[in-house]
A and B are shown apart, each in its own frame.
Chain A
Amino acid sequence: MKRFSGDISLVLGGAAGQGVQTVEALLVQVLKREGYNVFASKEYMSRIRGGSNSTEIRITDTKRRAFVKRIDLLFAMDKGVIPHLKDRISERTLVFGEKEKVGTLANHEIYDVPFTRFANELGNPIFTSTVAVGIALGVLGADLEAFETYLREHFERKGEEIVKKNIEAAQKGYTFGKHLAYDEGIEVHIKREKKVSEELLMEGSEALGLGTLAGGCNYISSYPMSPGTVLLNYLAAHGKPFGVVVDQAEDEIAAINQGLGAGYAGARAVVTTSGGGFSLMTEGVSLAGMIETPIVIHIGQRPGPATGLPTRTEQGDLNLALYAGHGEFPRVILAPGTHQETFSLARHAFYLADKYQIPVFILMDQYLIDSIVSFPKDDLTVKLVEHFIVETKEDYRRYEITKDGISPRGIPGHGTGLVCVDSDEHDESAHITESASVRLLMHEKRLRKSIGITDEALLPTEIGNLKDAETLIVAWGSNRGVLEEALELSGNTAVAGLHFHQVYPLPEKAKKSFKGKKIVVLENNASGQFANVLRLEYGIKVTESILKYDGDPFSVEEVVEKIKALV
């Protein structure tokens, strides 16, 4: 049976540098333009050339945002792909590739598709990616028109000749793909919707970049580290019209100390890194707590300890973000589960940091950062940024004791007062003190901000019917999509889900959702870090954990299996 309908998983595999990512970017873009729902996620090795990388593109009738293990159509660019993905190839998987390059697979047919030969016939191997996309569209039974339009737009500035050659390459591939599908009886049926073609299509990293700009960010100092670098790249590429100062720091220590300097002077600063780089920043987090200067910290999580698996995914740095920095001070940790949430939480992070003068964390991970999906334009709203800076008077005191713990924040050069901050314990005017009574007043003032922060904590998202469910599966951050789909597929109303996109502090109101239920926590780490936060914040004992820590995201299939095993 070679008929696929409603939900297809197309995987592209090849060595780094072979254009897998180019084909992915082209294909998702073109499919979206044609009105298909797409969701793409990738896995790759920590190297510049060679190795074996793959990208999964799901094309579905209903919107999905989760990884499936299953492969329906596999396009292999070299001999490393089949061994690399052998556990995901089933009898049903259709494998396409150049026979001489791909090798063989026991008891399995491989459809010979001449990517390179076609490209060479057109005079340049550079057309391989275009041919490949053409073939894929042909096999899928999609239209070619959107692709031709895309190629025209994309290559226009390179001249008519290049446009013509690319369109020729696309047509050659497409015709071949169509014939192949017809000859082999391959049928693909996926719904197309006009409204999808008008949606936004972006990577998690782009949603993060846009949300950062929407939060009024105008300063970034960071040191490159995968997968955190994406935000530094994004603001460098798109921040100029928004007046964003971009500094590549000499190390992460400099980065966060610059961020705090910028915040002190009235900028809205962000730093981006991964767990290892963040380890170097921890002294700065503590400084932010003491001098009460806003800073937004993005951690793109990857498996540790130490260098770990640099290009893979994990939710292993929740404890790190929660406990980083010596001493006691308030903080907020946000962990988006979708692209839309990534945008709105990035904006929210700047609001909270500014309002409460605290460090605010955005925890993402490689999987969410690199995944691509489309969603309606209205999901992202742009509004004016709320500021909390005051103009100082001559008798201004930076750390005035207030009821809610928030001292009005002045900045140097705005008003007639002097703005002083100090990492030592200090009095209201920031002078160093060792007075025990002043220490008490100041420490309590800083900690008092937690009341307002907790009152504003974001409520988790309910998935399914919580009221009647006996079992509650709790997830946080990037696992929202997989939990939603697995719960839907399992069709068991005795199980519902609860997804947290603010993971610290937790909103008091949500505590009641747990009452009388069996609690299962699903997370991408080995020690159940969020289960510990639930115990810490709510005093809840978690019955069971579903954990994964091999560097890959959860697949829908394995979560469905786990849910079945629970009941």
Chain B
Amino acid sequence: MIDKKRYDMPANTDMAWCPGCGNFPILNIIKMALSELDIPPEEVVMCSGIGQAAKTPQYLRVHYFNGLHGRALPPAIAIKNSNPSLTVIAESGDGDTYGEGGNHFLHTIRRNPNITNIVHNNMVYGLTKGQASPTSEKGMKTPVQVDGVVLEPFNPVATAITLGATFVGRVFSGDILQAKEIVKQAILHKGYALVDVFQPCIVFNKQNTYQWFKENTYYLDETHEKGNRSKALDIAFNMEKMALGVIYQAAEKPSYETLVRAGAEPLYKTPLDTGALSQLIEGYSK
């Protein structure tokens, strides 16, 4: 086990999260999972988009690509393709992943790269100050949805299962130990793994509080058949009482980086085959 302190951010880093934010336990969960899995910082790349959740890599000691809003997944896919030996984690919020990056979310699941996608789901937009997110509950009043949200909430768990994801989990940031175990399983799973993390926003979401999550969720127990897709979907569709745990896990399929390239040598190490190129050019003289 690697000392968890190795993942700590530099001492003088300015922290942009609000005191009491649900992001803090998630940060801790990631560090614990990586340390227990013995994955050193030099082998981890974290990709994120924009938003408070997307600042997570700033507060860790790992490689990171903190890109644009909604675009955590495309670079994550490409990094894994370019150097399959790296552990790649895409981490962002619900607005970033399910809203702005919705199309990438759909098609990343279809590709099935061997990456872990951790989504901080607090059902509200924090950094832009309190508008509805794709997962906001119907009726929630916000500065934009002044009469309450009228759209149906996006269901990431059901969507991921439907698109053929082979690992779909949901955890609550208030339960660090259970969440850490599931994040570890997600990292170990070969192929795309989604972990949707319920998390309160103590400033802008006054209805989905720590208490609310406790009352509206339950743990899947050992009787849950996580390989049964239709049962997993039934559970996913239940938005009244929401399940926590590994909701669906299927047999691993070949992951994207094993399908689109030969071998696992990092691309930066492959020199241009000048002989092959000269031969290809020569072919045009025929």
Binding site for B on A (CB under 8 A): 33, 153, 198-202, 206, 210, 213-214, 216, 218-219, 221, 238, 240-243, 245-247, 249-251, 253-255, 257-262, 264-269, 283-284, 287, 291, 377, 380, 382-385, 387, 389, 411-414, 416, 418-424, 429-433
Contacts and interface: CB of A to CB of B under 8 A. Distances in A.
A422 B58 CA distance: 9
B76 A261 contact: yes
A207 to B, nearest CB: 9
A418 B42 CA distance: 6
Contact of A266 (B55, B71, B266): B266
Contact of A411 (B64, B106, B268, B286): B268
Interface string B8-35: 0010011010000000000000000000
Contacts of A246: 260
Contacts of A387: 268
B266 A291 contact: no
Nearest to A203: B284
Interface stretch (B77-85, B198-206, B233-241): B77-85
A548 B47 CA distance: 46
Nearest to A385: B272
A423 B267 CA distance: 24
A265 B44 CA distance: 12
B268 A267 contact: yes
6 residue pairs, one from A and one from B, having the closest CB atoms: A261-B75, A266-B268, A261-B78, A257-B74, A265-B82, A250-B107
Given A242-B273, A253-B74, A264-B75, 17 more contacts: A198-B285, A201-B285, A210-B281, A216-B272, A218-B270, A219-B81, A219-B267, A243-B262, A246-B260, A247-B78, A250-B107, A253-B71, A265-B267, A265-B268, A267-B78, A422-B66, A432-B55
A257 B261 CA distance: 19
B277 interface: yes
20 contacts: A200-B281, A202-B284, A219-B78, A242-B272, A246-B260, A253-B103, A257-B68, A257-B71, A261-B74, A266-B82, A284-B68, A382-B274, A382-B281, A383-B274, A385-B272, A412-B42, A413-B86, A418-B42, A421-B66, A432-B58
Given A200-B285, A377-B281, A418 B62 contact: yes
A257 B79 contact: no
Nearest to A202: B284
How extensive is the interface on chain B, given as a class? Answer: 35 or more
Nearest to B265: A243
Given A219-B82, A241-B276, A413-B83, A420 B63 contact: yes
A112 B123 CA distance: 74
B278 interface: yes
Contact of B285 (A153, A249, A377): A377
A254 B106 CA distance: 12
A47 to B, nearest CB: 28
Contacts of B276: 241-242
Contacts of A265: 45, 78-79, 82-83, 86, 266-268
B68 A261 contact: no
A70 to B, nearest CB: 29
B77 A247 contact: yes
Nearest to A262: B78
B99 interface: no
Contacts of A269: 78
Interface string B76-110: 11110111011000000000000000011011000
B67 interface: yes
Interface of B: 10, 13-14, 16, 41-43, 45, 47, 50, 55, 57-58, 61-68, 71, 73-79, 81-83, 85-86, 103-104, 106-107, 260-262, 266-268, 270-274, 276-278, 280-282, 284-286
A264 B79 contact: yes
B211 to A, nearest CB: 32
Contacts of A429: 10
B112 to A, nearest CB: 13
Given A213-B272, A214-B277, A262 B79 contact: yes
A269 B42 CA distance: 23
Contacts of B10: 429, 431
Given A199-B285, A257-B71, A262-B79, A431 B268 contact: no
B89 to A, nearest CB: 12
Contacts of A258: 74-75, 77-78
A418 B103 contact: no
B78 A412 contact: no
Contacts of B267: 218-219, 243, 245, 262, 265-268
Given A210-B277, A283-B68, A413 B85 contact: yes
Contact of A200 (B43, B79, B83, B284): B284
Contacts of B286: 33, 153
A144 B63 CA distance: 63
A250 B106 contact: yes
Contacts of A245: 81-82, 260-261, 267
Most buried by A among B50, B106, B271, B284: B284
B10 to A, nearest CB: 8
Contacts of A383: 274
Most buried by A among B78, B79, B81, B271: B78
A267 to B, nearest CB: 4
Contact of B45 (A199, A216, A412): A412
A421 B284 contact: no
B152 to A, nearest CB: 23
Contacts of B42: 412-413, 416, 418
A377 B273 CA distance: 18
A380 B282 CA distance: 10
Contacts of A268: 267
B81 A418 contact: no
Contacts of B14: 431-433
Given A266-B83, A284-B68, A432-B16, A238 B280 contact: yes
B64 A254 contact: no
Contact of A254 (B43, B74, B266, B272): B74
A382 B68 contact: no
Nearest to A266: B268
Most buried by A among B75, B83, B276: B75
Given A245-B260, A265-B79, A382 B278 contact: yes
B272 A214 contact: yes
Contacts of B83: 265-266, 411-413
